[in-house]
Amino acid sequence: MALQVKYKALIDAATQAGVSNLQVREQNNVLYIDGQAPSGAVKDQLWNVYNTIDPDFRSGDVVLDVKVADVSAGSQVTVNTKESNLNIRKGPGTDQPIVGKAAHGAQVTLLSKASDQWWLVRTAGGEEGYAYAEYLRS
């Protein structure tokens, strides 16, 4: 229950932003927040709130697993790495866990531009997360 108090602003932001199927639970000193955001911008907003509570996501006591609702029209961008795969991360930052990879030259769907450096994308296989924008081209 203590983590729900610590992250109350994040839970409230998810509720107010219309995250559907919102589920919040504590297990083994980790708070799990699951649900479906109505847009990439809402997911970005949640990560911003999280970052204000736990700067640079250092505590490691939250798993924020909020997916973006299916987007019917999202622009396709191309992975533009030299040769290697592009890491798709849980959140916007290299300290975030890798949730997937996109191959060099692959097309991914742009869901939102969280910042100039990090874009929220979805691979053809359905993996969703943040990729370093420098390696994406429209």
Domain assignment of residue 103, given as a range:
76-137
Same domain, residue pair 61 and 16: yes
- Looking at 68, 95, 125, the residue that finishes a domain is 68
Same domain, residue pair 112 and 87: yes
Burial 12-34 (b: 16+ CB within 10 A, else e): ebbeebebeebebeeeeeebebb
Q: Six-digit token pair at 35?
A: 């649900």
Gap between the Cα atoms of 135 and 112, Å rounded: 15
Gap between the Cα atoms of 138 and 134, Å rounded: 11
The number of folded domains in the chain is 2
Residue type for 82, please? Answer: K
Same domain, residue pair 56 and 19: yes
CATH number at residue 48: 3.30.70.1770
Tokens 């191959």, residue located:
103
**DSSP label at residue 84:** S
Per-residue pLDDT of the chain (138 residues; tens, 9 = 90+): 799 999 999 999 999 999 999 999 999 999 999 999 888 888 989 999 999 999 888 898 999 999 887 654 478 899 999 889 999 999 999 999 999 999 999 999 999 887 889 999 999 888 999 999 999 987
- Looking at 51, 68, 85, the residue that finishes a domain is 68
41-to-5, 60, 80, 104 alpha-carbon distances in Å: 25, 23, 24, 26
**DSSP label at residue 10:** H
Strand partners, 110: 121
pTM above 0.75, yes or no: no
